[in-house]
């Protein structure tokens, strides 16, 4: 079982990240997933989060308690959620938006300029898809095909191609980072 938290600020498409990953893994990668999100005043603030539990069997307890993976696309979200990340967990950040503290335990950190890449592709709104591509590459939690297959219905149809392009960009960058990590 894997517990994942996607976090950032409102408008970055953080909930969408949880939905894309949850849908992709549950419908196309043969996993069981439960996606939950914060509602209410908590959801209105600047730190925004969606949670995903991934399992080989039916997810019974639906909430995360000590996530293995934390994705943070804002400083505030990073500061709020980093302490709950497991000591052997994976931290994934937007490198231009998050300044990390010195690493804790055996936490592995992966950084991607997702917002910058998105801007280069023409629209910062797709930064979350860059992040999803990167996340898919470095966590290997699911296949990139499944993630892309999950997009219709979750992103506007007319922007589907652009979203896929953003995903691919992040994914390639993730593979590149992994290569570099290996060669070190």
Partner 1 sequence: MKKVKADPKGVLTGAHYLDGDFALAEGALAAGCRFFGGYPITPSTETAERFSERIPRVGGIFIQMEDELGSIASLIGAVWGGKKAMTVTSGPGFSLMMENIGLACMMETPLVIANVQRGGPSTGLPTLTGQQDMMQAKFGSHGDYEIIALSPDSPQECFDLTIEAFNLSETYRVPTFIMTDECVGHMHEKVVIPPADEIELVERKWYTGPKEAYLPYKPDKDLVPFMIKAGDGYRFHTTGLTHDERGYPVINAECQKVNVTNIIEKIRKNADKIIKIEEDQIDGAEVVLISYGITSRVAVRAVRLAREAGIKVGTMRLITVWPFPEKRIKELAPKIKAFIIPEVNYGQMVREVERSAAGKTQVFGVPHCGGWVHNPEDILNVIKEAVK
- Least distance (Å) between residue 83 CB and partner 1: 18
Question: Under a CB-based contact definition with an 8 Å cutoff, are residues 147 and 54 in contact?
Answer: no
Picking from 7, 26, 15, the residue whose alpha carbon sits closest to that of residue 92 is 7
How many residues bind partner 1, per CB under 8 A? 22
23 binds partner 1, rule: CB under 8 A:
yes
- Least distance (Å) between residue 7 CB and partner 1: 17
Smaller CB separation from partner 1, 31 or 169: 31
Candidate residues 69, 138, 150, 164; the one interacting with partner 1 per rule CB under 8 A: 150
41 binds partner 1, rule: CB under 8 A:
yes
Candidate residues 2, 34, 114, 163; the one interacting with partner 1 per rule CB under 8 A: 34
Picking from 78, 106, 80, 76, the residue whose alpha carbon sits closest to that of residue 92 is 78
Strand 90-94 to strand 69-72: parallel, antiparallel, or no bridges (unpaired)?
parallel
Greatest Cα pair distance in the chain: 46
Question: Under a CB-based contact definition with an 8 Å cutoff, are residues 168 and 37 in contact?
Answer: no
Which region among 5-13, 29-37, 136-144, 169-177 touches partner 1 (by CB under 8 A)?
Answer: 29-37
Indicate the helix (H) or strand (E) that contains 168: helix 160-183
SS (H, E, C) 84-141: HCCCCCEEEEECCCCCCCCCCCCCEEEEECHHHHHHHCCCHHHHHHHHHHHHHHHHCC
27 binds partner 1, rule: CB under 8 A:
yes
Which region among 34-42, 85-93, 101-109, 170-178 touches partner 1 (by CB under 8 A)?
Answer: 34-42
Picking from 53, 87, 89, 91, the residue whose alpha carbon sits closest to that of residue 72 is 91
Candidate residues 63, 122, 123, 179; the one interacting with partner 1 per rule CB under 8 A: 63
- Least distance (Å) between residue 180 CB and partner 1: 34
Candidate residues 60, 88, 105, 161; the one interacting with partner 1 per rule CB under 8 A: 60
Which parts of this chain interact with partner 1 (CB under 8 A)?
18-19, 22-23, 26-27, 32-37, 39-41, 43, 59-63, 150
């Amino acid at each position: 079982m894997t517990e994942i938290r996607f976090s950032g600020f409102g408008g970055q498409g953080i909930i969408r990240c949880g939905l894309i990953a949850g849908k992709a893994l549950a419908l196309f990668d043969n996993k069981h997933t439960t996606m939950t999100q914060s509602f209410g005043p908590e959801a209105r603030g600047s730190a925004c989060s969606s949670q995903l539990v991934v399992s080989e069997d039916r997810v019974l307890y639906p909430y995360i308690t000590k996530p293995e993976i934390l994705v943070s696309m804002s400083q505030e979200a990073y500061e709020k959620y980093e302490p709950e990340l497991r000591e052997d967990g994976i931290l994934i950040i937007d490198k231009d938006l998050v300044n990390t503290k010195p690493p804790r335990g055996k936490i592995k950190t992966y950084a991607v300029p997702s917002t910058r890449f998105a801007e280069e592709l023409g629209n910062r709104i797709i930064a979350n898809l860059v992040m999803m591509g990167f996340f898919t590459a470095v966590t290997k939690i699911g296949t990139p095909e499944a993630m892309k297959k999950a997009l219709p219905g979750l992103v506007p149809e007319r922007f589907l191609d652009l979203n896929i392009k953003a995903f691919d960009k992040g994914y390639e960058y993730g593979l590149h980072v992994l290569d570099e990590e290996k060669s070190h």
